[in-house]
Amino acid sequence: MTFGKNGNITYDSKQKTIAVSQSGKTIFSGAKASIIVNGKTITADSYPDAVFAKQTIKDDLGNGLKYTLTYKEKNSPTLIQSFYTYSNKSYFITQIEILGNGQQIATNYISPLDLGKIAFDKIENLQTVFVPYDNDAFISYNSKKLDTISHNTSAEVGITFNNDSRNGFIVGSLEHTIWKSAVKTSNKNKEASFSAWAGYSERETTRDSIAHGIVKGEKVSSPKFFVGYYSDWRNGMEEYAKANRIVEKPFVFKWDKPTPVGWNSWGVLMEKINYDNTTKVADFFANSVPQFRVGNTAYIDLDSFWDNMVKGGFTGDFSKLKEFADYCKNKGLEPGAYWAPFTDWGWKDGPNRKAEGSDYTFGQMWTKTGNTYFDFDGARAIDPTHPGTLKRVDYVINKLKDCGFKMIKIDFLGHAAAESTSFYDKNVTAGMQAYKVGMEHLVKALDGQMLIYAAISPNMATGRYAHVRRIACDAWKTIEQTQYTLNSVNYGWWQTYVYDYIDADHVVFADVTEGENRARLISSVITGTLITGDDYSKDGIWSKRAKEWLQNKELLKIVENGVAFRPVEGNTGKQTTEVFEQKIGNEWYISILNYGNASKNYALPLERLGVKNGSYKLRDLFTEEEIEVKNNTINLSLGAKDARLFKIVNR
């Protein structure tokens, strides 16, 4: 079975295994289909010979061929393994379907490619990346040397690559409305292998305290899995991200406005927000930084505690909040609000509290996990399929729409994807199915009236429902927080193609050094958007730097492009590459960050950056100073806890 320009999928009819080669080079071999149905493990090699077929297809990815291997045996479910191939794509897609032949199928483990032996490089040369399922609990990506570990289980997508050559192999799920999936990369006796499956549940990663829900039906399908080998793993990850957006189209309305920029109150003001200080912040953005715009507006977003302005709580008087929203609009700004729609923060006060929007109680709505409930981050999850939850969504969203808000930051969305022993909707048996119900209802309630920004949320499954997503957990001002955020850009920058934009969280200048301020600002610019977070109701060093930097036309030009920079290195473990690069049109940009406590010298060959050898200068976008590039290598020194952002210009 051929794919792309020089790819081959080979089926071994005796062993019933799959091997893949590219340009005659074996990428992996020995992978077989494996499932657990009604508690019984079944593998492809337990069936008689498969029936092979092919047909032409035309779908959103293009024209191609679909190959199928159908396994049938009396008293066993029928297995159909499909391979979708395209002559103009350097990847293929595989999927398993289980047919019950009149019987109900029940499964929470389904693997189209199990125990494939990775063969494209020596194990000593390979890195494998832990990709988190979400951005909660200050989790980090982790690029590990494969020969030093026994295994690595990564959520949704597995990446194995040689950091020197950048050759890499990628396998990842393209559908996220039914299953949580994972890829396990293993090292056994210095031999690398991988398994890609759906039905993933692990407390440390997916936050679940119980097994993945059982998916039932007369036919049950795995997600489609993307499989590709690339000369540069970064190209592969970007192609994987773009394929996700094609295969699983956005449910959210199309964003056709410029890159969002603005301010969020959680940076400094936090629980202290009120009408007085937030309208003063709006004054600052209207009067002191009028050029801090991409397009015609900036967002002034109230985070948690906006109900400080609502007399009588969520069922009270919203008139002051509407007054705030009107004030922003009169200043040419867009007002934003915040909500965590699938959480109960007051659960310790008991189950009998009435939920807003209906006569249901919170206790009736809590997500059940056996004899207990799903509690995480201090909040208790509420069942996204429960009518009380959905009526509460309608109630709160309608209040915010009536106030005139144009942006909403939604948070703690992972609570809606928790596995449960039973959902209100009995047709829903798995966390991702529940997530789909809750998030689609939320998006419909918003009715195209607000920019949707997701904070803590599943990495991949949220792509259908949000315009902007924060790439990591919370970050404020220090170099350590900047590095933490950029770890997620280092290994998750490709999500810039899953969402309209990814974001580095609110940029706080506050009272740290100028170098740390510059690094924090750069971390946001190179992620793709720019949301600030200082208390601009007061004057301070932060407002001085804001006036100087937030109106920098060259920085705003990069933000307008709205695409995350690429990492230059991928072997940094839980740490972060110091160099990111991006080509916008015909112009190259490079950011260099020193996270350390001492100054550091850098020697960066242009070739490693992907820039053709030539005669260049670096132009500092903050100072406009220029540095000559000699011998096709960038040589410069950077102070402790500092950063620079350069444009590469011809001499």
Does position 354 have pLDDT exceeding 90, yes or no? yes
What value does the mean pLDDT take over residues 448-459? 98
- List the one residue out of 329, 345, 317 whose CA is nearest residue 407: 329
Run of H or E residues at 349: none
pLDDT in tens, 278-291: 999 999 999 999 99
For the chain, the distance separating the N- and C-terminal CA atoms, rounded to the nearest angstrom, is: 50
- Structure tokens that stand for 286 in this block: 């209207």
Does position 651 have pLDDT exceeding 90, yes or no? no
Whole-number Å distance between alpha carbons of 55 and 63: 11
Q: Is 565 in a helix, a strand, or coil?
A: coil
* 468-470 and 451-454 strand pairing: parallel
Asked if residues 225 and 174 have their Cβ atoms less than 8 Å apart, the reply is yes
- Confidence at 296, pLDDT banded by 50, 70, 90: confident
Beta bridge partners of 106: 216
Does position 273 have pLDDT exceeding 90, yes or no? yes
Q: If you search the block for the tokens 């260049």, which residue do you land on?
A: 616
* 299-301 and 334-339 strand pairing: parallel
Q: Is 630 in a helix, a strand, or coil?
A: strand
Does position 141 have pLDDT exceeding 90, yes or no? yes
- List the one residue out of 179, 181, 198, 175 whose CA is nearest residue 245: 175
pLDDT in tens, 398-434: 999 999 999 999 999 999 999 999 999 999 999 999 9
- Structure tokens that stand for 417 in this block: 């994807």
- List the one residue out of 438, 396, 442 whose CA is nearest residue 420: 438
Beta bridge partners of 408: 337, 452
pLDDT in tens, 167-195: 999 999 999 999 999 999 999 999 999 99
Beta bridge partners of 141: none
What angle is formed at CA 542 by the lines to CA 581 and CA 596, rounded to 5 degrees? 45
* 501-503 and 468-470 strand pairing: parallel
- Confidence at 449, pLDDT banded by 50, 70, 90: very high
**All structural domains of the chain with their residue ranges:** 2-247, 340-470, 567-650
* 375-376 and 616-620 strand pairing: unpaired
2-247 is a CATH 2.70.98.10 domain? yes
pLDDT in tens, 26-63: 999 999 999 999 899 999 999 999 999 999 999 999 99
567-650 is a CATH 3.40.190.10 domain? no
Q: Tell me how far CA of residue 382 lies from CA of 84, 146, 575, 609, in angstroms.
A: 38, 39, 35, 47
Run of H or E residues at 191: strand 191-198
* Superfamily of segment(s) 340-470: Aldolase class I (3.20.20.70)
- Confidence at 154, pLDDT banded by 50, 70, 90: very high
What value does the mean pLDDT take over residues 264-289? 98
What value does the mean pLDDT take over residues 293-319? 94
Residue 206 C-beta-side C-alpha neighbours within 13 Å: 29
